[in-house]
Amino acid sequence: MSIKILLLEDDHELGSLIKEELEGRGYEMQWARDLQQISTLNRSVDLAILDLFLPDGKGFEVVPDLSCPIIMMSALSDAQNRLRGAELGVVDFIPKPFLIDELVIKLERILNSKIQKSRLWIGGAVELDLNKKTITVDGEVQWLNKRDARLLEILTQRYPSVVSRDEIIDFVYGKEQNPSHRTVDNAVVGIRQMLRDEDNQWIRSVRGQGYQWMKEGE
């Protein structure tokens, strides 16, 4: 299966160069020139390369709609923009101008890391793919938001250990935010509903301790 990459870049010369180079390396490319155009494209991709400043807004506006690693490009890669990108979950920031080989190195490093970390869990009619951040039940695909994906990531990484609510809070929300144990409980309820996990066969509640992932990776 080919790796899908979404490119958002309004500069025709640079966009053409990136698209041509990556397609030559076997990647499947989608290229949007502005925010309006990207809204019409399939955003189920393996990685996104976004320009920060566009004719109709900022690339940051697209980030919440994506569930893949993101590289942000900008001629103004100041500390404030890098901080904003980090807060949104941008994986890497590349200042313009750059050599195309530099972009390729960053992209391939991210993809290789992603592939190494990816795991797949299958049980009956349910499939959880943390690489794609999807839950598929009876062929119906549901997309995980970033926090739910992070919650599942820590549970699956720690399998078969029990993970406390405080550990989940630190990993998913960060210490600068102040979610409660109830926030974690509600998130788990939502994920169980997506998994149709009525009997807690995927995520087990351990009284007074936290939660435990119950499935072994395929």
Is domain 120-213 classified as CATH 1.10.10.10? yes
Unique residue bearing structure tokens 């901080």: 83
Residue owning tokens 């870049």: 9
Run of H or E residues at 206: strand 203-206
CA-based nearest residue to 38, from 22, 49, 26: 49
CA triplet 127, 112, 39: central angle to 5 degrees? 65
Residue 152 neighbours by CB under 8 Å, 6+ apart? 128, 130, 144, 191
What confidence category does residue 100 fall into, taking pLDDT thresholds of 50, 70 and 90? very high
Q: Give 39-80 pLDDT, tens digit per residue.
A: 888 877 889 999 999 999 999 999 888 878 899 998 876 788
Per-residue confidence at 1, pLDDT binned at 50, 70, 90?
Answer: very low
- The listed CATH number (3.40.50.2000, 3.40.50.2300, 3.40.50.300, 3.40.718.10) that belongs to domain 4-117: 3.40.50.2300
Confidence of residue 15 (pLDDT cuts 50, 70, 90): very high
- Which of 16-30, 117-131, 178-192 has the least mean pLDDT? 117-131
Domain ranges of the chain: 4-117, 120-213
For the segment 188-195, the average pLDDT, to the nearest whole number, is: 96
- What's the pLDDT at 37? 93
Q: What is the pTM of this model?
A: 0.55
